[in-house]
Amino acid sequence: MAFTSLSNIKKEVIDRIAGEKYKSFVNLYQHWKDIVGPLLAARSHPFHLKDSILYVAVENNSWLQELVLRKMDILKQLNDKTGEEIKDIIFLIKT
């Protein structure tokens, strides 16, 4: 009997549910905390991906500024870790 790791099962289930249309977004969303760290991840989250532009909701202006300062590093890490080709990140204050 072959065993499949829980992480592989989770990925397969998410891929099936998300489908091709949302697969890239789900991939980015899952890596967000690893890339920005727990503090920034608690105050921001990706909410939309369109035309290779990632839209990120941010709690307030202070956190938005912090993310803007780290934007190029975040963009590089997102592309490296996910294999996606994100061209830009737009940060928006959302409550």
Q: Please check the confidence at residue 27 and state whether its pLDDT lies above 90.
A: no
Chain-centre distance of CA 86, in angstroms?
10
Query: Strand 53-58 relative to strand 88-93: parallel, antiparallel, unpaired?
Result: parallel
Of 95, 33, 85, nearest in space to 54 by CA: 85
User: In the predicted model, is pLDDT for residue 1 greater than 60?
Assistant: no
Selected from 3.30.300.180, 3.40.50.150, 3.40.50.1220, 3.40.640.10, the CATH number assigned to the domain covering 6-93 reads 3.30.300.180
Average pLDDT value over all residues in the chain: 87
- Asked if residue 17 has pLDDT above 90, the reply is no
18 pLDDT higher than 60? no
